[in-house]
């Protein structure tokens, strides 16, 4: 009986948390379409989320594309189909690995940073100070971060896709004996517009989720250092799970329906 | 005039405010004293709308605070937070001029900076502090910057939440004198929360003691030593023995 009560309580807690996050997302979207807008905060968010994430996104994509080429070459060699390496690297990076890896790296780098910053602002009464200074915390803190992430993460995904494909190209032409011109031609011929659109759409959704979770957990942080730590940990866990779940749904929408 | 009538607030089973009745006349300085966790900060945060009371009514100049235009209402207030609550990412002058750089009180950037520097000077800080980040300042300097921010837009009502906590006695004296000077000079209505009896005597026109969720005693600062109230006597003399239970 106690087990059932515990399961029921956990389930109700989960439903309540989903409801709170949905309300928070709705409020954020409501504030995005209504002013005032804080352009300086938006510009800083573009810089922090976009520009400063480029090194980690680039390196992650480069190594993943290179490893993918090696794996596909080794696997396809078993049935003499090594020629598919450019196509599968391109499909793998653009449809799945590019957006998911960038999304997860953004969750690790940006979600955690947003949650920790806003949670610290909360425990040091900076959020209360904003209110007393006639500034709505959601408009000032949440909207710029969520808007910037939703716009800039697709661009990071595009960069990640290109660098990932380049990683595969470098390995394939440098060590596996592929012809450079043929590799590029095969890659470009095989990719469809839908692949690129799905990649960018996933990037936008993952950026929205990553920033939203950082803001939600930061704004709802508990007290003290432990509260900040819990908010940061919870935000990254939630963002990662939601990104992978959204990836499954969007893949279904783009490629199965 | 600020008036609280029967204000209650609970957090779960913790009934912090059990019916607070309090009046602060325009242009006077009220200091709220009381033990830790008695709801002093909750009281002023309720006036500002940072916390919504469970019951009761709060009015400012006769107008219910829940029925006002929030921006116009908050533009009348300044607040010094306990830890100063300066925005880490902004230089000092932008913290001070925060309200003047956005919203209904927005001024040109140069003018806002000049006002910020003037307010910094008013609290005894030199203009070279203006471009530093809050983390580069000492606790006392941060409190002064918080004070400058609280008065930057010349508010009618100023709240000070434990303005001398964590400061050495000399710096606490400096802050007390500044608060008194500023309140008198600006003709502002002030509510200060403190445990520090030196602050009480330096800042207050009137004193209210919050205990067990209600106002235990209120009256002019000159009467606190002769009140005859055992709770107030125990508090102002810092006695461990008395009607207020000291949790050990």
pLDDT tens track for A154-205: 999 999 999 999 999 999 999 998 999 999 999 999 899 999 999 999 999 9
Averaged pLDDT score across all residues of chain B:
89
pLDDT value of position B67 = 86
Tell me which long-range contacts B230-239 makes (C-beta under 8 A, separation of at least 24).
Answer: B235/B33, B235/B34, B235/B35, B235/B209, B236/B33, B236/B197, B236/B200, B238/B197
Pick the residue of B37, B50, B78, B153 with the most A CBs within 10 A to test the interface with A by mutation: B50
Q: Rounded to a whole number, what is the distance in Å from the CA of A30 to chain B's nearest CA?
A: 18
The Cα–Cα gap between B137 and B117 comes to: 16
pLDDT tens track for B39-53: 898 999 999 988 999
Q: Find chain B residues with C-beta within 8 A of A128's C-beta.
A: 45, 50, 81, 85
* DSSP structure string for A23-87: HHHHHHHHHHTSS---HHHHHHHIIIIIGGGHHHHHHHHHHHHHHHHHHHHHHHGGGT-GGGHHH
Tokens, residue A151: 């716009």
Strand-pairing partners, residue A110, are none
Query: Quick check: bond before A244 cis, omega within 30?
Result: no
The answer on pLDDT for B84 being more than 70 is yes
For residue B198, give the 3-state DSSP assignment: helix
- Residue A26 CA to chain centroid, in angstroms? 19
Tokens, residue A146: 């969520």
Q: How confident is the model at residue A20 (pLDDT cuts 50, 70, 90)?
A: very high
Do residues A195 and A89 touch, judged by C-beta distance below 8 A? no
pLDDT value of position A118 = 96
Tokens, residue B182: 């500023």
The Cα–Cα gap between A22 and A16 comes to: 10
Averaged pLDDT score across all residues of chain A:
93
Q: A126 and B86 in contact by Cβ < 8 A? A: yes
pLDDT value of position B236 = 87
pLDDT value of position A257 = 64
* DSSP structure string for A116-148: HHHHHHHHTTHHHHHHHTT--HIIIIIHHHHHH
pLDDT tens track for B200-231: 999 999 999 999 889 999 999 999 888 888 88
The topology under which CATH files domain B1-76+156-161+189-241 is: Rossmann fold (3.40.50)
pLDDT tens track for A59-111: 999 999 999 999 999 988 888 888 889 999 999 999 999 999 999 999 999 99
The answer on pLDDT for B247 being more than 70 is no
The answer on pLDDT for B21 being more than 50 is yes
Domain ranges for chain A, please list them.
Answer: 35-255
pLDDT value of position B131 = 94
Residues ≥6 apart with Cβ < 8 Å to B132: B91, B92
Domain ranges for chain B, please list them.
Answer: 1-76+156-161+189-241, 78-154
The answer on pLDDT for B242 being more than 90 is no
Q: Rounded to a whole number, what is the distance in Å from the CA of A122 to chain B's nearest CA?
A: 9
Percent of chain A with pLDDT over 90: 85
Q: A134 and B104 in contact by Cβ < 8 A? A: yes
Q: Strand B14-24 and strand B29-33: pairing?
A: unpaired
The answer on pLDDT for B83 being more than 50 is yes
Tokens, residue B173: 């004296």
pLDDT tens track for B48-68: 988 999 999 999 998 888 888
Q: A134 and B45 in contact by Cβ < 8 A? A: no
Mean pLDDT across B118-139? 91
pLDDT value of position B173 = 87
The answer on pLDDT for A129 being more than 60 is yes
Element at B220 (helix H, strand E): strand B214-220
The Cα–Cα gap between B218 and B207 comes to: 6
Mean pLDDT across B2-10? 92
Q: Following CA atoms A90, A95, A101, A103 in sequence, which dihedral angle do they give, to the nearest 10 degrees?
A: 140
Residue, of B123 and A114, whose pLDDT is higher: A114
The answer on pLDDT for B248 being more than 80 is no
Provide residues of B within 8 Å CB-CB of chain A: 45, 48-50, 70-71, 74-75, 77-79, 81-83, 85-89, 98-99, 102-105, 149
Report the residue from B85, B103, B104 with minimal CB separation from A126: B85
Q: How confident is the model at residue A242 (pLDDT cuts 50, 70, 90)?
A: very high
The answer on pLDDT for A221 being more than 80 is yes
Q: How far apart are the first and last CA of chain B?
A: 39
Mean pLDDT across A228-245? 96
Sign, Cα dihedral of B54, B59, B63, B68: negative
Percent of chain B with pLDDT over 70: 99
Q: B81 and A129 in contact by Cβ < 8 A? A: yes
Q: Find chain A residues with C-beta within 8 A of B85's C-beta.
A: 124-126, 128-129
The Cα–Cα gap between B106 and A187 comes to: 54
Top mean pLDDT of A29-43, A80-94, A237-251, B25-39 is at A237-251
Residues ≥6 apart with Cβ < 8 Å to B64: B57, B58
Q: Rounded to a whole number, what is the distance in Å from the CA of B216 to chain A's nearest CA?
A: 28
Q: Rounded to a whole number, what is the distance in Å from the CA of B68 to chain A's nearest CA?
A: 13
- Restricting to A residues 40-59, those with a Cβ less than 8 Å away from any Cβ of B are 44
């Amino acid at each position: 009986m106690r087990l059932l009560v515990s399961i029921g309580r956990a389930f109700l807690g989960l439903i309540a948390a989903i409801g709170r996050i949905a309300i928070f997302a709705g409020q954020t979207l409501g504030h995005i379409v209504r002013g005032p807008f804080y352009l300086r905060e938006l510009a800083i968010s573009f810089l922090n989320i976009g520009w400063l994430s480029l090194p980690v996104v680039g390196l992650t994509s480069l190594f993943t594309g290179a490893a993918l080429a090696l794996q596909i070459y080794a696997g396809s060699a078993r049935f003499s189909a090594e020629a598919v390496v450019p196509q599968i690297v391109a499909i793998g990076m653009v449809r799945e690995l590019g957006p998911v890896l960038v999304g997860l790296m953004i969750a690790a780098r940006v979600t955690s940073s947003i949650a920790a910053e806003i949670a610290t602002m909360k425990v040091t009464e900076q959020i209360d100070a904003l209110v007393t200074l006639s500034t709505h915390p959601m408009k000032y803190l949440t909207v710029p971060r969520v808007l910037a992430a939703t716009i800039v993460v697709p661009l990071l995904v595009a960069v990640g896709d290109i660098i990932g494909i380049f990683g595969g190209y470098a390995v394939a032409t440098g060590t596996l004996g592929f012809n450079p011109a043929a590799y590029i031609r095969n890659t470009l011929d095989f990719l469809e517009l839908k692949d690129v659109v799905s990649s960018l759409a996933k990037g936008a959704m993952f950026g929205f989720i990553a920033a939203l979770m950082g803001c939600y957990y930061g704004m709802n942080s508990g007290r003290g250092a432990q509260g900040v730590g819990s908010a940061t940990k919870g935000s990254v866990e939630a963002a990662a799970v939601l990104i992978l779940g959204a990836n499954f749904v969007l893949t279904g929408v783009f490629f199965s329906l | 005039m600020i008036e609280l009538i029967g204000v209650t607030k609970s957090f779960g089973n913790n009934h912090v405010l059990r019916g607070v009745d309090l009046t602060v006349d325009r242009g006077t300085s009220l200091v709220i004293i009381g033990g830790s966790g008695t709801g002093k900060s909750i009281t002023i945060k309720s006036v500002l709308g940072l916390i919504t009371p469970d019951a009761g009514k709060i009015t400012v100049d006769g107008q219910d605070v829940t029925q006002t235009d929030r921006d116009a209402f908050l533009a009348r207030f300044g607040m010094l937070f306990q830890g100063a609550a300066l925005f880490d990412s902004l230089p000092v002058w932008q913290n001070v001029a925060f309200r003047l750089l956005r919203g209904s009180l927005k001024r040109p950037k140069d003018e806002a900076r000049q006002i910020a520097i003037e307010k910094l000077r008013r609290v005894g800080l030199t203009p070279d502090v203006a471009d530093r980040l809050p983390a580069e300042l000492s606790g006392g300097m941060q409190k002064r910057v918080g004070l400058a921010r609280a008065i930057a837009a010349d508010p009618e009502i100023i709240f000070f939440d434990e303005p001398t906590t964590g400061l050495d006695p000399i710096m606490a004296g400096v802050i007390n004198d500044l608060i008194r000077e500023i309140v008198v000079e600006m003709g502002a209505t002030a509510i200060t929360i403190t445990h520090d009896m030196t602050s009480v005597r330096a800042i207050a026109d009137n004193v209210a003691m919050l205990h067990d969720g209600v106002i235990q005693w209120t009256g002019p600062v000159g009467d606190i030593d002769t009140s005859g109230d055992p709770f107030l006597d125990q508090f102002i003399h810092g006695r461990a023995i008395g009607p207020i239970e000291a949790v050990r």
